[in-house]
Amino acid sequence: MPVKGLGEYDTNNIFARILRGEIPSKRVYEDDFAIAFHDIAPQAPIHVLVIPRGPYISIADFTAKASDAEIAGFFRAVGHVAKALELEAPGYRILSNMGEHSGQEVPHLHVHLFGGKPLGAMLVNR
Ligand code: AMP
């Protein structure tokens, strides 16, 4: 049984298609390592997804295979996006689902960035 969140990258997943410009997105940031765009079904007043440009399925795949420059560039991009959205003063939350138990839907690494109001408890179903 393949492990969800690892294995072979699907070059036609929806975020790969957004990266190639085949599907529209509301981009808020881009640099050499990452792009960021609004989530299509926001779960907070601000809900942005930050994704690396490289073909990585999940945080597990990314931390195993990406170069140091890609890893640094990606996480710096997360910080840049939060700052650009003026979320540092009020605060924000980042989250990345990996694999089956997390409910990861899209097999391209993405960090959810939530903000714009007090976000409440970290997990609803404990
Ligand atoms: P996850 O469950 O962590 O894999 O999250 C996938 C996220 O991608 C969900 O929050 C979806 O609302 C979001 N999403 C799916 N398709 C699109 C799209 N075309 N543009 C922006 N966000 C999307």
In tens, the pLDDT along 83-109 reads: 999 999 999 999 999 999 999 999 999
Query: Pocket of ligand 1, candidates 17, 20, 40, 95: which has the most ligand atoms within 8 Å of its Cβ, to mutate?
Result: 40
CA of 38 relative to ligand 1 center, distance in Å: 9
Q: Which CATH number fits domain 14-110: 3.40.50.450, 3.30.428.10, 3.90.1150.10, 3.20.20.70?
A: 3.30.428.10
Cut 0.85: pTM above it: yes
Residue 108 DSSP class: S
Residue 2 has a pLDDT of 77
Three-state DSSP class for 87? coil
Q: What is the mean pLDDT of residues 7-35?
A: 97
Domain borders along the chain are 14-110
Residue 19 has a pLDDT of 98
Q: What is the mean pLDDT of residues 33-38?
A: 98
